[in-house]
Amino acid sequence: MEDERKTPEMRAQMTDVERLRHSTAHVLATAILKIWPEAQFAAGPPVDNGFYYDVDLPHRISPDDFEKIEAEMKKEIKANHPFERMEVSRHEALELGKKGRLAALTDRDQPSKFKLDIIENIPTDEKISLYRNGDFIDLCAGAHVMRTGNIGAFRLTSVASAYYKDDEKNPQLQRVYGTAFKTKKELDEHFAMLEEAKKRDHRKLGKELEIYIIDEDVGPGLPLWLPRGAAIIEELEKLAKETEFAAGYQRVRTVNIARERLYKKSGHLPYYAESMFPPMELSEDVEAIKRDELTREESDIASTVQRSNSSTKYYLKAMNCPHHHKLFAAVPRSYRDLPLRLAEYGFCHRYEQSGELFGLMRVRSMQMNDAHLYMTPEQFGAEFNAVNEMYLNYFKLFGLDKYLMRFSTHDPTKLGQKFVDESELWKQTEEMTRRVLKDSGINYVEVPNEAAFYGPKIDVQVWSVIGREFTIATNQVDFAQPRLLNLVYKDRDNTEKTPLCIHRAPLGTHERFIGFLIEHYAGNFPLWLSPEQVRILTITDEPQLLDYSRAILNELRGHQVRAEIDTSTDKINGKIQRAEQMKVHTMFVIGKRDMEASAVSVRLHGRGNLGAKSRGEAIADILSSIKERRA
């Protein structure tokens, strides 16, 4: 973890509301100390939508304590103490810390251990400052509001645990979260907004709209798709297949398991074993194992993996690349075959830590919009660019505009350790990637030292409705695996060369992408993606009317439209209510009047009654909207 200390310049740039929240964190600490004087504090920064303060305390703070703590905070705000800044020498700061006087109201028996540690990490050339409000003195670089009374409206929101300095090896502290605004009105609006956001949560909508389930008997993180969810999957795959076909991709199919050997050879196993499902051991092909003794090199790669003399192991695949690489290697390749683009909606399984699972967004089984592109170095720029274009076209189609492209590069000092030792290739591919990004005028951030071990990558970050950040799509350069798996093509000059590989997944995985789309559209999918595109609602269930309605239903289905008919004995209002609740995109309301005019009354979800249209026109509208994938 890098040092995330803010520079004095960054402090000066804190927004007013950040100052306010940071100051509220100090007031929170003040209040906690009044109740539990032995509390030890670590860091208390402002964050998106609020602030937190990490505290080490034998008492387990629970939401039941919030009222008491907030009451103390209110007293401190009412007292309207000024926030006084004091600059001290390193020595003075350390002395105060030893007396337990930092992040405290008085001297104490125990030193302010976390604060002492933080002082140790402040660069020697940087000034050390304290902030004081009332009796509370804290080691803090600022910035703060003038007085505690400037804090307008605040509320404690939750308590969770967090590792000190965000490191799993450090002890866990209690992290008390809160939020603060200048006015009560803003605070109320903030909570109203959160309530709205919860209604869009894909886990809630996914259940209500019957898109997917996660069943305990099947297992955590293993979503099953109901027909409505499967319909969305089919549409996404259709989109991907059409797009990729037009872009010169070829589809392949691979299996879901492979022998341990494959992952040993690809070099994945030592790195990925942790995040793979444990292997299945089969004893039947021991002979095969004996025949296929590994070379010394392969054994070295696999040295961390235990070998068995009596059985062979099969792994559920966690990634598609090794399988695709095998397909590349299966046929002699000429430079004339390149670029070769192999695509598959591959099923992958990863054993994610239980605490990481999150609805559809973080699962253990996933279907990936995967493809591997093999090319010569000269072809790289054009291929990478084309992949990027594909992304942007998809995003335009989905009206996705709040995303961040994160360009991860290597750190030259870590060549040969964290990154494969190919200085020139790193430089080349990174420069080519950077140019593609610049030329297309996309906003992106460059993050050094975050690349994959086999090459630089671009991740597209989006945010779930409750503010969690996710990588929705990825575009990675790989110049290591082709070598590990001995992938070669015969070049013009009759020599064998190793291709470059691009690993890309513009639509990410079905799970995460659909989870995201549910929230993005708040469940109101465009017609082409709608699980149920048209529902026919009959005013009565008289036989003639049913015949007419069923004929329309059959016509729609004949055109592959996902249409249903509601022939229940409810009144029309009841039928509409149910269709609206399921967010059915288009409703055809059909009564006697419509039948006699050979028409239907069209009603759109959320937009109400559009009035009668001729049967032919209404159906033609549906078909063209679907065909064009209109928003």
Partner RNA sequence: GCCGACGUAGCUCAGCUGGUAGAGCAGCUGAUUCGUAAUCAGCAGGUCACGGGUUCGAAUCCCGUCGUCGGCUCCA
- The 461-490 contact track toward RNA, x by CB under 7 A, reads -----xxxxxxxxx----------------
Tokens read off for 527: 């017609």
Stretch that binds RNA, among 238-246, 286-294, 388-396, 534-542 (CB under 7 A): 534-542
Farthest-apart Cα atoms in the chain, separation: 94
- The 504-523 contact track toward RNA, x by CB under 7 A, reads -x--xx-xx-----------
Distance of closest approach, residue 208 Cβ to RNA, in angstroms: 7
Distance of closest approach, residue 162 Cβ to RNA, in angstroms: 4
Closer by beta carbon to RNA, 46 or else 381:
46
Please provide the DSSP assignment of 571-588 as one string. -HHHHHHHHHHTT-SEEE
Nearest to 240 by CA among 380, 341, 327: 341
**Long-range interactions of 279-282: CB distance < 8 A, separation 24+:** 279/313, 279/314, 279/315, 280/313, 280/314, 280/315, 281/308, 281/311, 281/312, 281/313, 282/311, 282/312, 282/313, 282/314
Distance of closest approach, residue 625 Cβ to RNA, in angstroms: 19
Distance of closest approach, residue 606 Cβ to RNA, in angstroms: 5
Distance of closest approach, residue 57 Cβ to RNA, in angstroms: 11
Sites for RNA among residues 561-600 (CB under 7 A) = 569-574, 576-577, 580-581, 587, 589-594
Nearest to 451 by CA among 475, 428, 472, 483: 475
Closer by beta carbon to RNA, 27 or else 319:
319
- The 220-239 contact track toward RNA, x by CB under 7 A, reads xx------------------
Tokens read off for 98: 């030893």
Distance of closest approach, residue 329 Cβ to RNA, in angstroms: 24
Stretch that binds RNA, among 14-22, 147-155, 251-259, 502-510 (CB under 7 A): 502-510
Sites for RNA among residues 268-307 (CB under 7 A) = 275
Distance of closest approach, residue 58 Cβ to RNA, in angstroms: 11
Nearest to 144 by CA among 31, 5, 29, 18: 18
Nearest to 352 by CA among 211, 222, 546: 222
Residue 580's identity, in one-letter code, is: E
- The 186-205 contact track toward RNA, x by CB under 7 A, reads -----------------x--
Nearest to 98 by CA among 117, 116, 86: 116
Number of residues counted as binding RNA (CB under 7 A): 82
Q: If phi over 0 gives left and psi between -120 and 50 gives alpha, with beta otherwise, what is residue 408?
A: beta
Closer by beta carbon to RNA, 100 or else 591:
591
**CA–CA separation, 244 and 43 (whole Å):** 49
Residues 49, 467 contacting (CB under 8 angstroms): yes
- The 128-167 contact track toward RNA, x by CB under 7 A, reads ------------------------------xxxxxx--xx
The residue within the footprint of RNA, chosen from 358, 380, 454, 528 (CB under 7 A), is: 358
**Long-range interactions of 39-44: CB distance < 8 A, separation 24+:** 40/103, 40/110, 40/112, 40/113, 40/114, 41/103, 41/112, 41/114, 41/115, 41/138, 42/114, 42/118, 42/164, 42/165, 42/173, 43/114, 43/118, 44/138
Stretch that binds RNA, among 242-250, 484-492, 503-511, 554-562 (CB under 7 A): 503-511
Distance of closest approach, residue 573 Cβ to RNA, in angstroms: 4
The residue within the footprint of RNA, chosen from 81, 155, 175, 410 (CB under 7 A), is: 175
Closer by beta carbon to RNA, 134 or else 346:
346
Tokens read off for 291: 């025949």
Per CB under 7 A, 126 contacts RNA: no
φ, ψ for residue 104 (rounded to 5)? -150, 165
Stretch that binds RNA, among 5-13, 234-242, 259-267, 535-543 (CB under 7 A): 535-543
Neighbours of 468 (CB within 10 A): 11
Sites for RNA among residues 315-354 (CB under 7 A) = 350, 352-354
Sites for RNA among residues 60-79 (CB under 7 A) = 60, 62
**CA–CA separation, 552 and 548 (whole Å):** 7
Buried b vs exposed e over 532-560: b needs ≥16 C-beta within 10 Å? bbbbbbbbeeeeebbebbeebbeebeeee
Sites for RNA among residues 364-403 (CB under 7 A) = 364, 366, 368
Tokens read off for 287: 């002979």
Which residues make beta-bridge pairs with 370?
Answer: 344
Per CB under 7 A, 359 contacts RNA: yes
Distance of closest approach, residue 316 Cβ to RNA, in angstroms: 14
Coil, strand or helix at 601: strand
**CA–CA separation, 188 and 166 (whole Å):** 31
Sites for RNA among residues 540-559 (CB under 7 A) = 540-542
Distance of closest approach, residue 460 Cβ to RNA, in angstroms: 7
**CA–CA separation, 212 and 205 (whole Å):** 10
Per CB under 7 A, 115 contacts RNA: no
Sites for RNA among residues 6-35 (CB under 7 A) = none
Distance of closest approach, residue 163 Cβ to RNA, in angstroms: 4
Closer by beta carbon to RNA, 48 or else 401:
48
Per CB under 7 A, 176 contacts RNA: no
Stretch that binds RNA, among 32-40, 89-97, 299-307, 608-616 (CB under 7 A): 608-616
Distance of closest approach, residue 405 Cβ to RNA, in angstroms: 12
Per CB under 7 A, 362 contacts RNA: yes
The residue within the footprint of RNA, chosen from 609, 616, 620, 627 (CB under 7 A), is: 609
The residue within the footprint of RNA, chosen from 144, 317, 504, 603 (CB under 7 A), is: 603
Closer by beta carbon to RNA, 185 or else 198:
198
Sites for RNA among residues 30-49 (CB under 7 A) = none
∠ Cα 76 82 85 (to 5°): 125
- The 434-463 contact track toward RNA, x by CB under 7 A, reads -------------------------x----
* Secondary structure letter of residue 265 according to DSSP: H
**CA–CA separation, 40 and 56 (whole Å):** 5
Closer by beta carbon to RNA, 474 or else 481:
474
Tokens read off for 577: 């209510």
Residues 576, 587 contacting (CB under 8 angstroms): yes
